[in-house]
Structure formats: structure tokens, C-alpha cells
């Protein structure tokens, strides 16, 4: 990795840490990286494993530059179209000089200057510690009485997109800041007025969310928001930002005939203006209360990524079973791309970078029968009636609230269900 690439990556990490508000990444735990992986999956539909994120953040020694897919996904998580656009934006916003300076200093710093910089950092660190000590010893902690707070919400329709009206009241609480967060994603946090009592947010995607009222950076209230669908909904998902609405597909457009649901290349070309779909993800959602025991159920489907290799080189498919307390995310792809996929089951992440997931590689010349069986805190996966995985997990699932199938490009589904 060149010094300039390192400088851009350090800049990106610094900006991400500020956005997330989790403090210095040096102190992040394994659970923090697991949470970050979940946030990235929810926002980009790309599953970056914990080990990949640890390599990026320097928790695991890794001297090579991250893959283009990893960098593009990280940039998209931060609201950019790609890693290249992140770097271009940094240049445009006059960060170029700082990056160039960091690159130059890392190449030319003399030993004497290095010692001087270390001494300066030590002094600065001591000053910061003194200021923190003074802050804690001269300002009593703010006590918040949750019983005097109010936080409710109301959906304005049963369609997509759907706006939610939040009603909040912090009473006489002395607050430096008040935020409402749409879900567990901290990037969907919006500052609201201390003196007001209403705020609205728009939800483009169906699903189960936990909205949070945050006072002085502390979560004080939270409640469930469940945006349901009326059967299966299809949409083309943008990769740039969750605030950019998806392209919704009509019932006619997702009906492929012969009992199949999906999207054709003709429809996708018409919707996107593209002939190559490697960066186009088409999702199918069915969000509702499933009357199924989350500790013992079977999910099954017959599906096929119908893109050609020229249209989508890896032809990925992602099946997500969403519960109120976790997720099963099962990926399939072309056989040659298994290094770039990751499997997630509750508290378990299996990364194709350091595990052999070749059993999840498919040629997609014909449909694949998929069966996922959950019982005794184990998830068994079978493809075409051959068991390929058995994954034990510890963290129990909650209510099953959403089934999602996502294709890289085009695809077809039939016989999908859960029981």
C-alpha cells in the first residue's frame, strides 16, 4: 500500500469514527466490529466480515491494500458512490494538502523531528488528560429521569415509502443535545429541537427497526417501528446512500410467469439504463409477523441468479431471514467468487477470506433448491438436498419479521416459504 493510499484510508477511518460516535477505534471491542458489520450490511447489502474490518482498522496485521470491493463498500457506507468518489471528494474539499503533507512527512521525517513530534504528542496527551479531569471534577453528571420523558411514534400510511411522526417530550431535562435515531444505524441520527415535540422521518425500505431517543449522547427511550409490506415487494437498491430512494418495481414487473417472481434483464436495463449489473442489487422483501417458532423452523426456496457472467461477474444471491434479535444471512455466488462472501448466523460470522465456503458456490445454469433448517440452536443449510453447512450459534433469535432475497443483477424465485 502506497503512503498516499494509507493517508486516504486513515482519513476515511477518522471520519467514520466521528460519524459513528463510538470513540477511538483503538478501544473498539469485537462486538463493536460485529455491530459495524451489521450496519454496513443494512446500508449497502454487502457483508464485510469482522476480520476484514479489523484488518482495515489495523487490529490485525495486514500490509496489503484492501480489495476494491471492500473500499467501495466502505465508501458507500459513508454516503459516497465509490472509493474513487471519496478520494475525489477529499481532494475537492481541500484535504489534498493534508494528505500530501502526511505522505511527505511519512517519507522524509528525520529522526530528530520524529523525537520532537513524539514529545509534542506526549505533552498534548497530558494536556487533554488534565482537561478531561477538570471537566469531570467541575461539572456534576446530568441525571435523567426516564419516567418524565415521552417518546412515541405513528406511521402515516401502510404503503412504501412511509413517513413516521415521532412525538417526544423531555420535560424539564437540561439537555445539551437531543437526537432521534431511526434505527440501530447511527448514521440515521437526526438532531431535533429541545423545545419542540414532533419530528418526522421517511422510511423507504420495509422492515423491523428500533427508534431511539438520545439525550446528551445517551439512549433514554426506544421502541419498535415495523414497516410491513402487502406481500412481496421488489425494488432496485441504490448503493450511494440509504437516503436515496430505491426504484420500486410493480407487481407486473416482478411476475415472471409460471409461478416465478423476479426481475428480467429487460426490466433492469429499463430501470437503470445499465447493461452491466455488477453494482446493481435487486431486492425482494416480505415484511410481516410470521407465526413461526424462531428456535425451530424451516425456510425453503428455489432460486436462480439469471444474469450472465458478462452482466454480473459473480452473480451473487443473498437470502436474509430477519428476526427482532438477529439475522440469518446466507450468500450464494458463482463458484469462482466464494472468497468475497460471508455467512452470518446470529452471533456467528463465517468469512470466505479465511474459511472454505466453496459449498456455497453455484454455476446457476439451473435453479438451486435451498433449505435452511433451524433447531437446537443450529442452522443446517442444504443445496439441492445435499447438506453443505451446519452452524451452531448462541444468541437466540427473536420474532421472525422479514424475508429478503437480493440478487446481484437479475434473478428468479419460486416455492419460497417458511414454516
Residues 161 and 101 in one domain: no
Give CA 326 to chain center in angstroms: 13
Pairwise CA distance, residues 156 & 346, whole Å: 32
For residue 374, the model assigns a pLDDT of 97
Name the domain count of the chain: 3
Q: Do 242 and 219 share a domain, yes or no?
A: no
Pair 250, 396 in one domain:
yes
Query: Any idea what DSSP says for residue 36?
Result: H
Q: What is the per-residue pLDDT across 54-109, written as a single tens digit (0 to 9) for each? A: 888 887 766 667 888 888 888 888 878 788 878 877 766 644 444 444 445 444 44
Beta bridge partners of 154: 165
19: nearest Cα among 78, 65, 73, 76:
78
Q: What residue has cell string 433448491?
A: 369
Q: How far apart are CA 260 and CA 413, in angstroms?
A: 6
pLDDT at 242 over 70: no
Domain match, 261 and 340 both: yes
Domain boundary among 227, 250, 276: 227
| Residue 168: Cβ within 10 Å count | 21
304 and 268, same structural domain? yes
Cell numbers representing residue 347 in the block: 452471533
pTM strictly above 0.85: no
**How many helices and strands in the chain, by DSSP H and E?**
9, 23
Residue 186 within any structural domain of the chain: yes
Helix 3-20 × helix 96-108 angle, to 10° = 130
Note the pLDDT tens digit of each residue in 145-168.
777 899 999 999 999 999 999 999
Residue with cell 477538570: 134
Same domain, yes or no, for 356 and 376? yes
- Which has the higher per-residue pLDDT, 175 or 304? 304
Taking 3-state DSSP, the helix, strand and coil percentages for the chain, each rounded to the nearest 5, stand at 30, 35, 35
Q: Is residue 184 predicted with pLDDT exceeding 70?
A: yes
Which structural domain range is residue 100 located in?
Answer: 3-108
* CA gap 207, 134 in Å, rounded: 45
Question: Same domain, yes or no, for 405 and 256?
Answer: yes
Amino acid at each position: 500500500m502506497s503512503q498516499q493510499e494509507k493517508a486516504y484510508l486513515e482519513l476515511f477511518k477518522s471520519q467514520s469514527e466521528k460519524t459513528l460516535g463510538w470513540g477511538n477505534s483503538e478501544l473498539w471491542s469485537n462486538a463493536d466490529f460485529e455491530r459495524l458489520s451489521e450496519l454496513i450490511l443494512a446500508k449497502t447489502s454487502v457483508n464485510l466480515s469482522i476480520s476484514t474490518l479489523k484488518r482495515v482498522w489495523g487490529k490485525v496485521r495486514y500490509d496489503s491494500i484492501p480489495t476494491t470491493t471492500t473500499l467501495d463498500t466502505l465508501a458507500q457506507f459513508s454516503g459516497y458512490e465509490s472509493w474513487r468518489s471519496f478520494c475525489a471528494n477529499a481532494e475537492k474539499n481541500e484535504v489534498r494538502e493534508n494528505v500530501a503533507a502526511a505522505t511527505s512527512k511519512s517519507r522524509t521525517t528525520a529522526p530528530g523531528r520524529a523525537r520532537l513530534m513524539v514529545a509534542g504528542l506526549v505533552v498534548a496527551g497530558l494536556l487533554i488528560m488534565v482537561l478531561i479531569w477538570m471537566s469531570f471534577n467541575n461539572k456534576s453528571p446530568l441525571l435523567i429521569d426516564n419516567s418524565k420523558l415521552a417518546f412515541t411514534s405513528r406511521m402515516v400510511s401502510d404503503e412504501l415509502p412511509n413517513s413516521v411522526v415521532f412525538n417526544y417530550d423531555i420535560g424539564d431535562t437540561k439537555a445539551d443535545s437531543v437526537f432521534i435515531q431511526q434505527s440501530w444505524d447511527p448514521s440515521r441520527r437526526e438532531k431535533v429541537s429541545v423545545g419542540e415535540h414532533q419530528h418526522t422521518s421517511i422510511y423507504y425500505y420495509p422492515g423491523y427497526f428500533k427508534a431511539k431517543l438520545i439525550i446528551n449522547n445517551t439512549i433514554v427511550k426506544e421502541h419498535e417501528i415495523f414497516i410491513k409490506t402487502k406481500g412481496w415487494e421488489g425494488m432496485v437498491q441504490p448503493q450511494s446512500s440509504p437516503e436515496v430512494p430505491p426504484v420500486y418495481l410493480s407487481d407486473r414487473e416482478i411476475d415472471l410467469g409460471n409461478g416465478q417472481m423476479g426481475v428480467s434483464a429487460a426490466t433492469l436495463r429499463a430501470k437503470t439504463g445499465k447493461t452491466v449489473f455488477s453494482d446493481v442489487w435487486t431486492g425482494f422483501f416480505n415484511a410481516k409477523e410470521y407465526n413461526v417458532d424462531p428456535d425451530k423452523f424451516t425456510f425453503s426456496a428455489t432460486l436462480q441468479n439469471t444474469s450472465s457472467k458478462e452482466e454480473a461477474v459473480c452473480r451473487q444471491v443473498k437470502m436474509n431471514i430477519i428476526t427482532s434479535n438477529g439475522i440469518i444471512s446466507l450468500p450464494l455466488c458463482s463458484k469462482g467468487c466464494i472468497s468475497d462472501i460471508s455467512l452470518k448466523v446470529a452471533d456467528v460470522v463465517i468469512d470466505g477470506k479465511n474459511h472454505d465456503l466453496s459449498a456455497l458456490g453455484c454455476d446457476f445454469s439451473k435453479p438451486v433448491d435451498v433449505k435452511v433448517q433451524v433447531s437446537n440452536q443450529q442452522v443446517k443449510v442444504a443445496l439441492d438436498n445435499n447438506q453443505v453447512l451446519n452452524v451452531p450459534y448462541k444468541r437466540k433469535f427473536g420474532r421472525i419479521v422479514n424475508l429478503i432475497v437480493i440478487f446481484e443483477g437479475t434473478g428468479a424465485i419460486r416455492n419460497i416459504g417458511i414454516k
